[in-house]
Structure 1
Amino acid sequence: MPSPQTPHITMQNQHMDWPAVQQAFLAAGFDLVGVTDCMPLTGARLARWLARGYAAGMEWIPKSLHRRVDPRRLLSGCRSIVVAAAAYQAAGITTTALHPGIALIAHYARGTDYHHVLFGRCREAVSRLQRNFGYPRKFRIAVDSAPILEPEIAARAGLGVIGRNSLLLTRNFGSCVLLAEVLMDACVNSTGQNPPPEPICLGCRECIRACPTRALTEDGMVDARRCIAYLTIEHRGSIPRNLRPLMGTHVLGCDMCQAACPANRERLTPRSPFLSPVGPEGFKPSFQELLRMTPGVFKARFRGTSVARTGYRRFMRNVCIATGNSGDRALKPLLEQFLRRNDGDPLLSEHAEWAIARLG
């Protein structure tokens, strides 16, 4: 039986009151929680994005279009979606390395892999609801692991609005949040939850001006073909030569549009920070360290982090480009050694040769 302090949940017809659901997810360590129904989205924005070719090589997105716009296809009997956000980087986003010779990794990837952390928090929240109230009986947890239109669903759940850089902008944490969703077979009475968010961007274009590769459009879309985050994480092949000089010293992800966003200048402290640096050097990898890495060293260095998901070849391709853009000619011998070690790999040799030539 629930304790007197526990918010009431009506068992009839599997209805749960919002305060109980919110309390369960906040207690698990999330900073923001919202809820929405499972009704389909229009998908109009996604359709325009796909029609323009902005999906680049992400062919799995159009293939799962019917499921992305209709969450009911992801869980039989789905009645509600709880959207939970965990904030990160309370000290402020920066887009410059701590000192010369250090490669840039996006802030969200500078510590423990958030996929595992947020999944565990969702499981804890669901277990608490099941233990106290018996529901949900069926559920599905998604942390960047299901075909869900995350920003749209999160906005509909009242967590924020979609910014001009296509990221969710929340009230208290800007865009520096990571999202998780729990689809469940119980209805949640949303009375008293987050009020509808107000527009934030209005006439602001700071993110568009800040993007070094001009990947952001005036109508709030991202052309993945030019996006540094896509190119360094998802893209598997050779990176277009015309974009390489624009990528700076980024080796995984990019925070440029977030750093420029006024919504990220004053934020609250996260409830339960989890992006603590992994390894003795934290996340301050030098080009000298990275260029010496073998596949085995890479695996050990980045075990348990989001960087590991990219894999050695893609990551080292990015390292070559960033080294070439560093302007540090003292790194040429290390690049040449790297080239000799990988002369049988067309992808790595091509990017190493480009970097050597760029350093002059």
Structure 2
Amino acid sequence: MAQHKSIEDRIRAKAAELGFAACGFARADAAPRTGERLRQWLADGCHGSMMWMEGRADQRASPAGLWPDVRSIIALGMSYAPTVDPLALAEQGDVGRISVYAQGADYHDVVKKALKALGRWLFAEAGGELKVFVDTAPVMEKPLSEAAGLGWQGKHTNLVSRDHGSWLFLGAIYTTLELTGEGAGRDRCGSCDACQRACPTDAFPAPYRIDARRCISYWTIEHAGPIPDAIADAMGNRIYGCDDCLAVCPWNKFAQSAAANRAFRPRAELVAPPLAELLALDDATFRQVFAGSPIKRIGRNRMVRNCLIAAGNSRDRALTPSITPLLDDPDPVVRDAAAWALARIGGGAF
């Protein structure tokens, strides 16, 4: 007689069927130091202008702070392992570099759809109440995923998996069911500090600690105003996010691009977009180009600002005709970035 499968095994099988590459379980109180670490990080101002981190800190600090009835966490990961080296375009100044995670479909939509499908199945199979989360809710997915055995938070603070490297989108299901996990992931960074050494802006004041105020991803995505010269100088041709600390992780050699969800395959126009084309975007064209992409949420002005900085860093005078019209852009941040870019290239004194 075939052995009856546990609910945990059945959840894992269903999760794999829905496109998740990793699935684990933890008690709701399995990451007790999360709140303490979060509050210290916020007190130190490391969140920069991300006031949403501060505003719901009590809910973010623990699963029970968000939903008192939660008993277990189902942590899930979807692979977006790239097929090419994310650092390959570093010296190609006439194109912009977009973080790997944003070159395909919006992970919020893809992961949320799969989470909801898994949640419906779980309710039908085992009952209980549940809630699903991906990124936009006050949930600390990384320490919870570590507690559930998906991997460990590396020195770059992102989750690292023995099987999928640094390339996992994380989601979580909170449930009133009592589920049993296999234990927390073990830190396997050892003495390696490749991620810290790779950071172009020294955003890691210590291992396992990041200061968003020094991070290119923060400045290009979360920050709406002008970008300080020290950060702009280091951005190179990065126009949306930065993959450097992830890309150099030695554990990525185990990540299989074939395991990546097909929805995250890069769109051709986002792999190496010419800066000249991006600098010509108006709001309507921006929305058209980035429809279905997480990039859409930063808006045209922030993207053009980032592209102007990349253009300035390129020192490519051929980009001058694309930059000059933006000196009269309606947005003052774009105008300032255009002036900075021209001065950087040597197209005039501003």
Question: TM-score normalized by structure 2?
Answer: 0.92
Q: Deviations over 1:297-339 (max 9, x none)?
A: 0000000001101111111111111111112111011100222
Q: 1:271 to 1:7 in 2, by over 3 A?
A: farther
Q: 1:183 to 1:219 in 2, by over 3 A?
A: same
**Whole-Å Cα distance in 2 between the matches of residues 165 and 189 of structure 1?**
29
1:347 aligned onto 2:337: no
Q: Displacement of 1:129 after TM fit?
A: 2.1
Task: Report the equivalent of 1:32.
Answer: 22
1:52 aligned onto 2:44: yes
Asked if the contact 1:24/1:126 (under 8 Å) is kept, the reply is: no
Residue type matched to 1:356 in 2? L
**Whole-Å Cα distance in 1 between the matches of residues 3 and 282 of structure 2?**
53
Among 231, 249, 259, the alignment partner of 1:270 is 259
1:251 aligned onto 2:239: yes
Among 123, 146, 150, the alignment partner of 1:155 is 146
- 3-state DSSP class of the match of 2:179? strand
**Whole-Å Cα distance in 2 between the matches of residues 237 and 352 of structure 1?**
14
Task: Report the equivalent of 2:166.
Answer: 175
Task: Report the equivalent of 1:317.
Answer: 305
Task: Report the equivalent of 2:10.
Answer: 20
Q: Displacement of 1:176 after TM fit?
A: 0.8
Among 177, 188, 191, the alignment partner of 1:200 is 188
Question: TM-score normalized by structure 1?
Answer: 0.89
Task: Report the equivalent of 1:338.
Answer: 326
Q: Displacement of 1:202 after TM fit?
A: 1.6
Residue type matched to 1:135 in 2? G
Q: Displacement of 1:74 after TM fit?
A: 2.3
- Structure 1 runs (4+) deviating above 4 angstroms are 4-9
Task: Report the equivalent of 1:358.
Answer: 344
How do residues 80-95 of structure 1 correspond to structure 2 at under 5 angstroms? 80-95=72-87
Q: Displacement of 1:282 after TM fit?
A: 4.6
Asked if the contact 2:103/2:266 (under 8 Å) is kept, the reply is: yes
- 3-state DSSP class of the match of 2:344? helix
Among 120, 124, 136, the alignment partner of 1:127 is 120
**Whole-Å Cα distance in 1 between the matches of residues 32 and 139 of structure 2?**
10
Among 215, 218, 223, the alignment partner of 2:203 is 215
Q: 1:75 to 1:6 in 2, by over 3 A?
A: farther
1:296 aligned onto 2:259: no
Q: Displacement of 1:246 after TM fit?
A: 0.6
Q: CA RMSD in A?
A: 2.0
**Whole-Å Cα distance in 2 between the matches of residues 335 and 85 of structure 1?**
41
**Whole-Å Cα distance in 2 between the matches of residues 180 and 352 of structure 1?**
39
Asked if the contact 2:93/2:316 (under 8 Å) is kept, the reply is: no
**Whole-Å Cα distance in 2 between the matches of residues 33 and 93 of structure 1?**
26
Q: Deviations over 1:158-197 (max 9, x none)?
A: 111111101111110111111001111222133xx4x543
- 3-state DSSP class of the match of 1:222? coil
- 3-state DSSP class of the match of 1:180? strand
Q: Displacement of 1:44 after TM fit?
A: 2.6
Task: Indicate the percent of aligned positions where both proteins have the same amino acid.
Answer: 32
Q: Displacement of 1:296 after TM fit?
A: 0.5
Task: List runs of 5+ in structure 2 lacking aligned partners.
Answer: none
Q: Displacement of 1:140 after TM fit?
A: 1.4
**Whole-Å Cα distance in 2 between the matches of residues 97 and 27 of structure 1?**
35
Residue type matched to 1:205 in 2? D
1:140 aligned onto 2:131: yes
Q: Displacement of 1:7 after TM fit?
A: 5.5
Q: 1:75 to 1:47 in 2, by over 3 A?
A: closer
Q: Displacement of 1:5 after TM fit?
A: 8.1
Structure whose residues are more often helix by fraction:
2
Report which stretch shifted further, 43-52 or 300-309: 43-52
- 3-state DSSP class of the match of 2:26? strand
Residue type matched to 1:162 in 2? Q
**Whole-Å Cα distance in 2 between the matches of residues 117 and 207 of structure 1?**
28
- 3-state DSSP class of the match of 1:254? coil
**Whole-Å Cα distance in 1 between the matches of residues 3 and 136 of structure 2?**
32
**Whole-Å Cα distance in 1 between the matches of residues 89 and 80 of structure 2?**
18
